[in-house]
Amino acid sequence: MTLFDHIFLVLLALSALLGLWRGLVGEVFALLGWIFALATAWYCAPLGVPMLAGAVETEWARWPLVFLAVFVTVLLLLALLRFLLRELLSVAGLGVLDRMAGAGFGVLRALVLALLLVAAAGMSSLPKEQWWRGSTFAPPLEVAVLAVKPWLPRDLADRIKY
């Protein structure tokens, strides 16, 4: 096993453990929470900028401050909702099932992240390195990236070479 294999296994284990700890509901709400918080902050920040005109003199600083305030507020509210839903699942006796499904979600997340990293590496000379070629997990991940390649944007797909 090479350095690549060890990094892949650590990524897989950490992601699965995080999923086990948070549970499926926690994982899904965390992912959706970040997306929703970013979208809400992006669309609501321009509405809040005029409200800071008297408090913040520099115009360029208002938008990031409002964006950050909205983003953090939405993220915290959704984290509270996530906590309450997990408690509800626990009381209903579904906590173990939620955590096991969360571990599965964590494994899937690690695989997607590994595919993204292997695709990015395919645009460099890394796949030609000996530690990459001697890896146990790199070849199957390369095959998976090549299977997904037809669905990637043409400019991006043309850069991936193994």
Residue 3 burial (CB count, 10 A)? 12
Q: What is the pLDDT of residue 59?
A: 77
Residue 57 burial (CB count, 10 A)? 9
Q: Please list, residue by residue across 84-104, b when 16 or more beta carbons sit within 10 angstroms of its beta carbon and e when fewer do.
A: ebbeebeeeebbeebbebbbe
Render pLDDT for 120-156 as a digit per residue (tens, 0 to 9): 999 999 999 999 999 999 999 999 999 999 999 999 9
Contacts of 91 (CB under 8 A, 6+ apart): none
**Model pTM score:** 0.75
Contacts of 119 (CB under 8 A, 6+ apart): 145, 148, 152, 160
- Name the one residue in this structure whose structure tokens are 């395919």: 122
Query: Which one, of 52, 54, 72, lies nearest residue 62 by Cα?
Result: 52
Q: What is the pLDDT of residue 62?
A: 87
Q: Give the C-alpha separation, 74 to 49, whole Å.
A: 17
pLDDT more than 90, % of the chain: 81
Query: Domain limits of the chain?
Result: 3-159
